[in-house]
Amino acid sequence: MYRITRLIHRIAGIIGAILMLIMAITGLLLNHRSFIGYSSEMEMKLQKFIFGLHSGTIGKMSIVWLTDVGAICMIVLSMTGIWMWFKGDRKMKPVDTRLKRGNDE
Residues 8-26 have pLDDT tens digits of 989 998 998 898 898 888 8
Q: For residue 95, tell me if it sits in a domain.
A: no
Which pLDDT score is estimated for 61?
87
Instruction: Count structural domains, the chain.
Output: 1
Which pLDDT score is estimated for 76?
92
Stretches where the chain sits below pLDDT 50 are: none
Which pLDDT score is estimated for 47?
82
Q: For residue 97, tell me if it sits in a domain.
A: no
Q: For residue 38, tell me if it sits in a domain.
A: yes
Which pLDDT score is estimated for 42?
66
Q: Give the span between the Cα atoms of 42 and 45, in whole angstroms.
A: 5
Q: For residue 65, tell me if it sits in a domain.
A: yes
Q: For residue 61, tell me if it sits in a domain.
A: yes
Q: For residue 94, tell me if it sits in a domain.
A: no
Q: For residue 40, tell me if it sits in a domain.
A: yes
Q: Give the span between the Cα atoms of 4 and 17, in whole angstroms.
A: 20
Residue 82's domain comprises 2-89
Which pLDDT score is estimated for 50?
84
Q: For residue 18, tell me if it sits in a domain.
A: yes
User: Does the global pTM surpass 0.75?
Assistant: no
